[in-house]
Amino acid sequence: MSTAPADPRETRGRNRRGQGDRLREDIIEAATRLLDELGDDQALSMRSVAREVGSAATSIYLHFADRDALTLAVLNRCHDQLTQAVDDAEASSDDPVAKLRARTLVLGSWAYQHPGLYKVLHESAINQRTAMPFKQQLADRTTAAVQRCMDTGLAPADEAATVALDLRAAVHGAVSMRLNQPDHPWPPLEEQVERFLVKLVGTPPTAR
């Protein structure tokens, strides 16, 4: 007499209270490491994540429906951490221009620290398949930072959202070119960001 295949959740056994949450965290951390190494969401496999965690592949699917769902969880977590790093950098000064400069440099330095994750967040195929509404938070905060410079007379009055978009596009372009052409003799990112702020936002140049 044939029997139906066992449910993988029954084969694995029930998680004690809290174990499921711990496994979910382990999965996200493992996928984060792999995506930073690979720099491409298409190269990530659920089996490789399972091996990294030391669990069965079926365990991954209990927490994430597919690779895109797992990748989005990683990117959302990274975005939260990046937002916190930007907030911390801005808190070091009361000057609106210094705040804008600090947040812009944090975005650039994070990309150098996590080049693979940066590429997945901004350049990989998942951007074409899936909406990432959490990205809007950093965009809105950049617009607010530009608006503060305008409100205090440290930048000429203009449409803050448009100026912020130009600034973000310039910074992302500079960072992406550095990551994809590392052997080029690039100027220091700090100097380039300073030029972006002066030319695109209209802030006064920093005294040297």
- Overall domain count for the chain: 1
Query: Residue 71: what residue type?
Result: T
In a domain, 123, yes or no: yes
Q: Tell me if 5 is assigned to some domain.
A: no
Q: Closest Cα partner for 112 from 46, 10, 190, 50?
A: 190
Q: Note the pLDDT tens digit of each residue in 99-135.
A: 999 999 998 889 889 999 999 998 888 988 888 888 8
pLDDT of residue 3: 45
Asked if the structure places residue 47 within a domain, the reply is yes
Within-domain flag for 152: yes
- Is 49 inside any structural domain? yes
If one counts every other C-beta atom within 10 angstroms of the C-beta of residue 114, the result is: 19
3 secondary structure, DSSP code: -
153-204 confidence digits (pLDDT tens): 999 999 999 999 999 999 999 999 999 899 999 999 999 999 999 999 999 9
pLDDT at 87 over 50: yes
Closest CA to 58 of 124, 123, 119, 10: 10
pLDDT at 173: 93
183 within domain boundaries: yes
The two structure tokens encoding residue 68: 């895109």
pLDDT computed for residue 17 by the predictor: 44
d(CA 29, CA 155): 41
Q: Does residue 208 belong to any structural domain of this protein?
A: no
Tokens of 125: 């195929």
